[in-house]
């Protein structure tokens, strides 16, 4: 009989140990409001500070092209040489016309002086003197016209040297040496892009613009929205290889109007480009920081999705897990969510092992140091 009791007690102890083993430990986070910097990212198109189309002002064949696509040029540097023989001839002809007009004026002046002496002696009439003066005025007008034609010929001759109007980078060149060009061509000779500064253009929805306008509200009522946006913290640029550009930019409102078709406002961020890494026509993403105060922040790894809805496992006072739907802000870090609905301060959630949990499971909570967790997720390489 004693042996039976011993066996019975042993079975009871083993069952109790098994029940204890079934209650697993899980890391649990106690939610408390905190301040966090979030970022919102917008796809952007890059443009240089100044992009100029280079077009010929005169007709002719390209005879020289000392630059090529992608070259960096300075203001005033020669880009194209158009054959100049015709325009040199026009300059020489105009110079000859000026000399002829000057000679005609000299003759007319002599006539006026001669008739002036004869009038004093009553040899000729005043009418003849006046005619000589009129002829002199006509010759002076002819000289002015000849000088204008000479200036125009010199300008046209100068136009045969197509020079860069700004510092920048040369774009594509559709015409080469021997091509016949003229001022009415639809396609320019090339483009020059000044990329010492680069503008990143992007769009923001009307709602986001309203939230931003409210977020940058200033006590100084005389400041415009443009001025207040310009005082926002610097923004970042994410390059196509997902690296962050080394220089930060400033935000500007490119248009004060909402596009009726898209319901969005146009913005631009201005970035310095001293090493000319950024190029016109490129793409990137503008990353704008936002400070969120008293936010309920949770790790992304503490959530799971079912049918496009996001859930967490909340822990009750009896250490039972409950699947809880949450809504998060669209602004986030790479590793954290800001909860908009579904959780409140003081609640606890499981932060790991979610795949092993189900509604109603009893767990053994292991408290997580929230400051260490958030710091690790915030500075984690993104």
DSSP letter for 175, please. Answer: -
Q: For position 143, what pLDDT does the model report?
A: 95
Tokens 């680069």 sit on residue: 198
Of 236, 257, 254, which is closest to residue 245 (Cα–Cα)? Answer: 236
What is the Cα Rg of the chain in Å?
A: 41
Non-local (6+) Cβ contacts of 231 within 8 A are: 216, 218
Same structural domain, 244 and 278: yes
Per DSSP, what are the bridge partners of residue 245? none
Burial class (CB in 10 A: 0-12, 13-18, 19+), 173: buried
Q: Is 379 helix (H, G, I), strand (E, B) or coil?
A: helix
Domain holding 359: CATH number? 2.40.420.20
Residues 209, 110 within the same domain: no
Cα three-residue angle 268-269-270, rounded to 5 degrees:
120
> Is residue 138 domain-shared with residue 200, that is, in the same domain?
no
DSSP 8-state assignment for residue 189: S
- For residue 372, tell me if it sits in a domain: yes
Q: How far apart are CA 235 and CA 11, in angstroms?
A: 67
Q: How far apart are CA 353 and CA 374, in angstroms?
A: 18
165 and 74 within one domain? yes
In a domain, 166, yes or no: yes
- Each as own residue / partner, the long-range contacts of residues 100-104 (CB below 8 Å, 24 or more positions apart, any chain) are 100/146, 101/139, 101/142, 101/143, 101/145, 101/146, 101/147, 102/143, 104/139, 104/142, 104/143
Stretches in the chain below the pLDDT threshold 70: 1-21, 211-223, 225, 254-256, 331-334, 378-382
Residues with Cβ within 8 Å of 219's Cβ and at least 6 positions away in sequence, in order, are none
- The pLDDT of residue 177 is 95
130 inside domain: yes
**What is the DSSP code string of 268-319?**
EEEEE-TT--S-TT-EEEEEEEEEEEEEEEEEGGG-EEETTEEEEEEE-TTS
Same domain, 133 and 203: no
Residue 363 Cα distances to 23, 193, 345, angstroms: 5, 64, 21
Tell me which residue range forms the domain holding 177. Answer: 56-81+160-187
Q: Would you state the pLDDT for residue 217?
A: 54
Residue 276: per-residue pLDDT: 85
Residue 17 has a pLDDT of 47
Query: pLDDT tens digits, residue range 309-344?
Result: 999 999 999 999 999 999 988 765 668 888 989 999
Final residue before a domain boundary, out of 263, 291, 319: 291
Residues 115 and 164 in one domain: no
- pLDDT the model gives residue 145: 95
Is the residue at 8 inside a domain?
Answer: no
Q: What is the pLDDT of residue 50?
A: 86
Compute the Cα dihedral for 291, 380, 302, 43 and give only its sign.
Answer: positive
pLDDT at 152: 96
- pLDDT tens track for 110-167: 988 888 888 888 888 888 889 889 999 999 999 999 999 999 999 999 999 999 999 8
Please give the tally of structural domains in the chain. 4
pLDDT of residue 8: 43
User: Residue 126 is encoded by which pair of tokens?
Assistant: 């005043």
pLDDT of res. 212: 67
Q: What is the CATH number of the domain that holds 75?
A: 2.40.50.100
């Amino acid at each position: 009989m004693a042996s039976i009791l011993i066996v019975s007690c042993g079975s009871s102890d083993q069952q109790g140990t098994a029940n204890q083993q079934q209650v697993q430990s899980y890391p649990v986070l106690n939610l408390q409001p905190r301040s966090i910097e979030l970022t919102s990212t917008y796809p952007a198109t890059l443009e240089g500070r100044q992009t100029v189309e280079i077009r010929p002002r005169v007709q002719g064949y390209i005879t020289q092209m000392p630059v090529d696509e992608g070259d960096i040029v300075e203001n005033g540097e020669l880009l194209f040489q158009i054959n100049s023989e015709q325009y040199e001839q026009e300059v020489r002809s105009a110079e000859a016309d000026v000399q002829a007009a000057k000679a005609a004026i000299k003759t007319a002046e002599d006539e006026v002086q001669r008739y002036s002496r004869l009038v004093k002696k009553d040899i000729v009439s005043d009418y003849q003197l006046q005619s000589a003066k009129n002829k002199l005025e006509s010759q002076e007008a002819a000289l002015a016209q000849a000088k204008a034609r000479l200036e125009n010929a010199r300008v046209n001759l100068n136009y045969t040297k197509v020079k860069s109007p700004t510092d920048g980078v040369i774009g594509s060149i559709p015409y080469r040496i021997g091509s016949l060009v003229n001022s009415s061509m639809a396609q320019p000779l090339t483009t020059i892009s000044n990329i010492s500064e680069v503008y990143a253009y992007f769009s923001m929805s009307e709602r986001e613009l309203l939230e931003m306008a409210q977020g940058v509200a200033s006590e100084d009522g005389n400041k415009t929205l443009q001025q207040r946006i310009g005082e926002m913290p610097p923004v970042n640029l994410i390059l196509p290889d997902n690296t962050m550009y080394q220089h930060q930019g400033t935000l500007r409102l490119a248009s004060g109007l909402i596009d009726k078709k898209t319901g969005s406002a146009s913005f631009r961020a201005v970035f310095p480009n001293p090493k000319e890494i950024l190029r016109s026509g490129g793409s990137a993403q503008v990353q704008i920081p936002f400070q969120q105060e008293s936010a309920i922040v949770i790790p992304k790894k503490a959530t799971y999705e079912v049918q496009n809805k996001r859930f967490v496992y909340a822990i009750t006072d009896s250490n039972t897990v409950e699947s809880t739907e949450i809504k998060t802000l669209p602004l986030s870090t790479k590793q954290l969510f800001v909860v908009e609905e579904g959780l409140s301060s003081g609640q606890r959630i499981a932060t790991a092992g979610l795949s092993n949990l189900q509604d109603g499971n009893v767990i053994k909570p292991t408290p997580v140091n929230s400051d260490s967790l958030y710091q690790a997720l915030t500075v984690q390489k993104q």
